[in-house]
Chains A and B, each alone.
Chain A
Amino acid sequence: MKQSKRSIQPISCEEALSRVFDFIDDHLRGKARIELEHHLETCRHCFDRVEFERLLKSRLRKLNVNVHSQKVRKRVETLLDQF
């Protein structure tokens, strides 16, 4: 059920910032998430902080490159033969 905006408890910036990483990691649920989302609608500083952390996280994710090393595969094959 969607909570009406009037019934959402306002939270402080300090409280909001303590939830930022759970939020960007998609681990924040229920009331805690709704309160944070409401705070982000009204606080530019915390909104920018969330955007910044998301940007850094996306840069880290881009470091994940596919590797296809024949050399490593061959070495693993050889190792398996030894056991």
Chain B
Amino acid sequence: MNILSRKEKEELRQVLMPLVDDLHRVALSFCHDENAAEELVAATVGKACESYRSLKDRSRIKPWLLRILSNMFISQQRTKARHPHVEYDEIENDKQNQFSLFEQISQPFLLWWGNPEREIMNKFLDEDIQKAIESLPAEFRIAVVLSDVEGMRYQEIANILQIPLGTVRSRLARGRSLLQKKLWHHAQDLGIILRKAHRHETIQTQHSTH
């Protein structure tokens, strides 16, 4: 263990303690489990203490801590081997990046007397959306959480994860696409959206009655 001097320890405490709630919140968004989030924060703080001397610009402590947190999370997920490492070159050309829940549920002929897309979205509980996030592989989950849950800009995410802007965009596009696909399947399971064959029949019936 790399022991910090009393001065370093006090300095780290001063900057770290105000950020604990932020780290905990992001960890909860990644894991959606109180115990797992606590473990992730603890592992992050442990790693931060070990590496604190290597941090050159101490005004950049927040992105540095979030990077450690994200890397720890990816590493934990890989250890669990449920979400293997993703090859990003393959993703660039993957048409599945473009799955759109809207395109699946949009019914243009209902234009004047309904908004089914909004109605369906209102039927999702926060829990449904959280579960869809949880289903994402770690790298995509991190991009979606940092951008859409935390409200960070692409450049901030690129700085935290130390990846190019293009990679942030592609991870986000892939993450959003997978998230929407998950919500679509979930909505079908719940009967919020009719399965395709049934829906086709319903549409035919609605057409013939209007």
Contact = CB atoms under 8 A, between A and B. Distances in A.
A63 B127 CA distance: 9
Contacts of B153: 25-27
B21 A63 contact: no
A45 B148 CA distance: 23
Interface string A42-56: 001100110111011
A76 B20 contact: yes
Interface residues of A, number: 35
Which secondary structure characterizes the binding site on chain A? helix
B2 to A, nearest CB: 8
A68 B115 CA distance: 39
Contacts, number: 107
A29 B9 CA distance: 44
A56 B180 contact: yes
Contact of A52 (B49, B121, B124, B144): B121
B135 interface: no
Contact of A48 (B9, B16, B45, B106): B106
Interface stretch (B23-31, B55-63, B72-80, B186-194): B23-31
**A-B CB proximity, top 7 nearest:** A60-B148, A83-B49, A52-B102, A67-B25, A52-B117, A72-B24, A64-B149
